[in-house]
Structure 1
Amino acid sequence: MHFITALLGIYRAEIGLVILACMFVAFVRERYSPTVVSVLGACAFALLGLLDEKSLFSVFSNSAPLTVGAMFVLSGALIRTGTINRIADLVMVRAQKHPRLALVEVAVGTVLLSAFLNNTPVVVLLIPIMFRLAQATAYPVKKLLIPMNAVAVMGGCVTLIGTSTNLIVAGIAAEQGMQPFGIFDITPYGLAGTIAGVIGLACLSFLLPSDPPSIAGENGGNVQEYLTELVVTPDSEVVGREIGELSVLGRSVTLIGLKRAGEIRRHDLEQEELHIGDRLIVRADGTAIMTLRESGDFELGIAADSETSAREGTVIEAMVAPSHPSIGERLIDIPFLHALRVRLIGIHRARHLPGPDLADTRVRGADRLLVAGSDDAMRSLKDNPNLIGVDISRTRAFRPRKAWIAILAMAAVVILSALDVIGIGLAAFIAVGVILVTRCIDAEEAWAAIDGDVLILIFAMLAVGLALEQAGSVALMVGWITPLMQVAPQWSLVFIVYFAALILSELLSNNAVAALLTPLTIALAHQLGTDPRPLVIALMIGASACFATPIGYQTNALVYAAGDYRFADFVRIGVPLNLIVGVAVCSALVILG
């Protein structure tokens, strides 16, 4: 026992590096998630006495992960209030009139959104838009998805709040005694990389594949669309208005027909005035249906009893069992619709939109139904042996009337932190309080918007980084690297740091790489007698601007699946793009830094 204690005392730094090496091997092998590996690594340091208990728990006082969590909630509020969806609708309206110009506008809008919002929901939202733009412009969708994702990643490097990686690096740097970063301190360098990257994408588009994805449908499998009907009621404000003037129609609600007096019309409907009893046959995603249900402008769906309203009670989802006796029959004749006081407000069929309208749709096994009704009726449906997976719908309606609050809250965070009135962490937390008390987003939805996996990973890697410092491992590595770096030209240091972070992040979690390399980079800069700030900025951007593999950044994986790409597709376009963006960012740091 004394021998082990003596060994730990003499070779603390070397043992720390061994644990770090084991963690890197585990990251690469991917048998366990990066979060699990990080937690186990922190535990190993603590068990061996390389990290004391007080220091271990001190990482929870770091403001960076908490700020990341607050920004997740603010992004969730913008989505919940329909702000992001409304922007997407405007893009699609523009695309219908000027499809090629819309591509440029989408690129600019993606940069702006990703600069202030978590870019994962931005990419999720843009994937179906890219499928629609591909149809409108006749461009292969595979030539649009990777560039869209790359622009979103580059946009995240334009401000301090664009990615969680930036906030992590800034938080660690502040703890190391560096002057805190402002929200726009990295903007000149991020913009240099973004401009160069967009030009590079335009020039290298021939490297992108043009074959269609094998995935059917225009949403890449991301959105469930339902067939439903909007019934014009006698007290509706839309009576007498032209269909083309309706604000509800857009990307999420697409008109496919007008049913009047039993006759369905499909074409030239924009100038048609709405009459009482008209039925607009539309396709819409679940969120849009729930929003329409609460709006009061229309009655939704079909019911055996005309007095049954879709706004009553709750909404459940249910799947039609293959043994259902109504298979092949019209949906209006399905037995529960006549036996219970319910209203059927939507039907989804995988890879196909049913029709010709809701009532006359022929029932198939595995059809998914949205049904509104009283609690008693819902309990009866749950006992129905011919329906599978009956449960309360988790889809929520947008809250558009609260959108201005969410927008102002996010704008206040940006403006107050940019003017150094208050810190970004405090500003974000106050904004979270505002959006919660004003019900822009419910508490349970706010906490669900936080990616807990990311936060635990950040805390664990902060503990690992602190342990490496306490064990002397950082000083040992700096001692090894310093003689090599001393012979390198001063301007080359940002290039070395940037591309070291980039290469590691293409293989490992970028947040983990950022947390590990930040203290090492700062210590190295002090040892060399150079300003650490340009090196830290190079680390920030290099750890995020990863385009060469589907695992290099979290949104890469989303696009990889949606576009049915091959691994080589990312490598072919990503390697030259990495070089172009990296050279532009590092050159800007050398010239301006």
Structure 2
Amino acid sequence: MIDGARHFIGEYQAIIGLVVLALMFVGFVLERFPATVVAILGTCTFLFLGILSGKDLFSVFANPAPVTIGAMFILSGALLRTGTLDAIANRIIARAQRRPKLALAEMFLGVYVASAFLNNTPVVVVMIPIMLKLANALGISAKRLLMPLSFVGILGGTTTLIGTSTNLLVAAVAQENGLDRFGIFTITPVGLVAGVSGILALIFIARRFLPDDAPSQIALSQEHRSFLTEIRIPKGSNLIGRRLGDIPFAKRANVKLVGLKRGASLRRSGLLDEVAEEEDRLVVRLDLSELLSLRANKNIVIGLTAGNDEVGQDDEGIIEAMIAPSHPAIGRRLLEIPFLSMLRVRILGIARFRKTAGPDLPNARVQAIDRILVTGPTEQIEEMYGNPHLYGVGSTSEREFRRSKAPIAIGALAGVILLAAFNIMDIGVAAIIGVGLILLTRCIDADEAWDSIDGNVLVLIFAMLAVGLALENSGSVALVVGELTPMLRDVPPWALVVATYVISVLLTEIVTNNAVAILVTPLAIAIARELGVDPYPLVVAVMFAASASFATPIGYQTNTLVYAAGNYRFVDFFRAGIPLTLAVGAATCVAISLLI
């Protein structure tokens, strides 16, 4: 019986491989299970059937692409941790106050350029709240900015080899199939054509197909992320005598000066032109990451204590907690909250959903579900975990910026790009060395570095590499190539490029792009060789098509991010994404036929 089954599998393994692949595609489309689970189940099926051996399975871990992708995730994480992307966004927001339309154009250009050299997903993550603020400043719906943000990030990512994980993956699979190594800027000419055509199409599409809801509808939902705090300027501070508008942290877009307490008075207007005096208290609204970053500033004292300043603002223990409706301090001033007098702790700030607490930190009236940030000695902080009137007591998920390390993080990324661009070193090796440098210099901590890696992406890549190898071993690829080659024998090369692009882009809209890249690339190479044509144009077509996912919110990760943040409907992506897909696809296919 077993021998008969083995004989049957051996005789029909090419067809069995295609059946397993078809079932995997059904699993991808139905989304009953995550894409990683479907890919792993497909790998396990090939292992169980004996089509894929254990040796074959472990050989996929020698592929350099996933390691390179993981290293680039960490380098992108270091730029986030050091506040580099945040600083760029702040500059653009500052310019938006003077020339909003020009700032909008600069912001999209910045996203395009950044996405060419960083993983575009963290770029979009950083820019979403900035776009919300800019939409509010321009008086337009955030929906008119968030979807273009994702699309521009995708277009920027296709400009270089390192802009997306898909490009690196296709290049690695092509190299395994005998093609020469892609350089970091090999696809840039085509990428620029695709980018320009896409941006021009976006300008046309934005006026006609993007939704236009009430301007403040989405932006208001983000206000609960802002904390209110109070900053005292102590004796000996180097801020004394300086104009408040010239103080570095006051210039940042995620910091807003809302009040100045001097003696018994509280001023609300003309604050930036005031000159700082000793014992001034600045009432500030700011993002959590910025609040954490200011703890290291020795020229200011942040927050609130019951007594004097015996509790440091940068103590080791720090937690975030939510005020329960049963808390006895509800309706009372924050200064009167019981644990503040019972424990040696400092309240760094308070956040309120969709509203701003006030008028200042000590006199803010406590409400249910307010969030507070508290620091103090570890043993004092630990006592707060048992407080029945506080919900969700735990370490904050945010981290402070390490701005002094920004030049190192930027230099590490630039070094990786230059070493790869001039063929001095393989990009994977250069990226790993870059990771070692930023870890050694503590641009980012080790635990943060590993957290910045998207594990789902790497697991999916390894599993799909195994599936691709199984399809090769089973003869499934050869079977498909043998069936398609006679039909394509008289097709001109440009038509092969178009066909490859169309098939890849259609699959990308319903299946994860990395899976499409792994499966279609070897197939395109094999068909090109059978037909006696250059395989490079077809491989580049797969690269671009596997990233050009504009018509659905599930085809690419950045689309999914803005889909949730902008509260879009699924059909919104159809209306704007389909014409953009057609415009970019046509320009890309022409560019590939002429330039590759």
> Could you say which TM-score interval applies, normalised by the shorter chain?
over 0.9
Separation (CA, whole Å) in 1 of partners of 2:218 and 2:160: 37
Match of 2:485 in 1: 482
Report which stretch shifted further, 75-84 or 124-133. 124-133
Q: Output the TM-score relative to the length of structure 1.
A: 0.98
Match of 1:364 in 2: 367
1:530 corresponds to which of 524, 530, 533: 533
The answer to whether the Cα contact below 8 Å between 1:110 and 1:122 also exists between their aligned partners in 2 is: yes
Note the C-alpha offset of 1:137. 2.1
Match of 1:293 in 2: 295
- Partner amino acid, structure 1, of 2:306: A
Per-residue CA deviation, residues 367-406 of structure 1 (Å, 9 max, x unaligned), is: 1110111122112212222112222323221111111110
The answer to whether the Cα contact below 8 Å between 2:255 and 2:285 also exists between their aligned partners in 1 is: yes
Separation (CA, whole Å) in 2 of partners of 1:428 and 1:169: 18
Match of 1:50 in 2: 51
Match of 1:449 in 2: 452
Q: Structure 2 unaligned runs (5+)? A: none
Mapping of 1:70-85 within 5 angstroms?
A: 70-85=71-86
Separation (CA, whole Å) in 2 of partners of 1:302 and 1:43: 57
Note the C-alpha offset of 1:221. 4.2
Per-residue CA deviation, residues 103-137 of structure 1 (Å, 9 max, x unaligned), is: 11011101111001111111111111111211222
Note the C-alpha offset of 1:312. 2.5
Mapping of 1:141-540 within 5 angstroms?
A: 141-205=142-206, 206-212=208-214, 216-218=218-220, 221=222, 224-249=225-250, 250-307=252-309, 308-540=311-543
Separation (CA, whole Å) in 1 of partners of 2:382 and 2:469: 54
Separation (CA, whole Å) in 2 of partners of 1:51 and 1:297: 63
Note the C-alpha offset of 1:217. 3.6
Note the C-alpha offset of 1:222. 9.3
Note the C-alpha offset of 1:48. 0.6
Match of 2:98 in 1: 97
Separation (CA, whole Å) in 1 of partners of 2:392 and 2:571: 39
Per-residue CA deviation, residues 197-220 of structure 1 (Å, 9 max, x unaligned), is: 1000111212111113895545x5
Report which stretch shifted further, 500-509 or 394-403. 394-403
Note the C-alpha offset of 1:184. 0.5
- Partner amino acid, structure 2, of 1:110: V
Match of 1:40 in 2: 41
Separation (CA, whole Å) in 1 of partners of 2:11 and 2:224: 58
The answer to whether the Cα contact below 8 Å between 1:213 and 1:565 also exists between their aligned partners in 2 is: no
Tell me the matched-pair count. 592
1:509 to 1:198, Cα distance in 2 relative to 1, 3 A: same
SS at match of 2:321: strand
The answer to whether the Cα contact below 8 Å between 1:319 and 1:390 also exists between their aligned partners in 2 is: yes
Separation (CA, whole Å) in 1 of partners of 2:297 and 2:483: 66
Separation (CA, whole Å) in 2 of partners of 1:265 and 1:217: 27
Report which stretch shifted further, 232-241 or 178-187. 232-241
Per-residue CA deviation, residues 341-390 of structure 1 (Å, 9 max, x unaligned), is: 11111111112221111111110111111011112211221222211222
SS at match of 1:248: helix
Separation (CA, whole Å) in 2 of partners of 1:568 and 1:212: 19
SS at match of 1:344: strand
SS at match of 2:517: helix
The answer to whether the Cα contact below 8 Å between 1:165 and 1:544 also exists between their aligned partners in 2 is: yes
The answer to whether the Cα contact below 8 Å between 2:142 and 2:218 also exists between their aligned partners in 1 is: no
- Partner amino acid, structure 1, of 2:173: I
Report % sequence identity. Answer: 51
Separation (CA, whole Å) in 2 of partners of 1:221 and 1:252: 12
1:66 to 1:213, Cα distance in 2 relative to 1, 3 A: farther
Poorly superposed stretches of 4+, deviation over 4 Å: 213-216, 220-223
Whether 1:562 and 2:565 are equivalent positions in the alignment is: yes
Report which stretch shifted further, 462-471 or 287-296. 287-296
Per-residue CA deviation, residues 291-338 of structure 1 (Å, 9 max, x unaligned), is: 000122311111111222212232111111110111011111111111
Separation (CA, whole Å) in 2 of partners of 1:564 and 1:367: 25
- Partner amino acid, structure 2, of 1:120: T
- Partner amino acid, structure 2, of 1:541: F
- Partner amino acid, structure 1, of 2:94: V
- Partner amino acid, structure 2, of 1:423: D
SS at match of 1:283: strand
User: Over aligned residue pairs, what C-alpha RMSD do you find?
Assistant: 1.3
SS at match of 1:258: strand
Note the C-alpha offset of 1:71. 0.2
Per-residue CA deviation, residues 214-262 of structure 1 (Å, 9 max, x unaligned), is: 95545x5498221111111112211111011011121221212212213
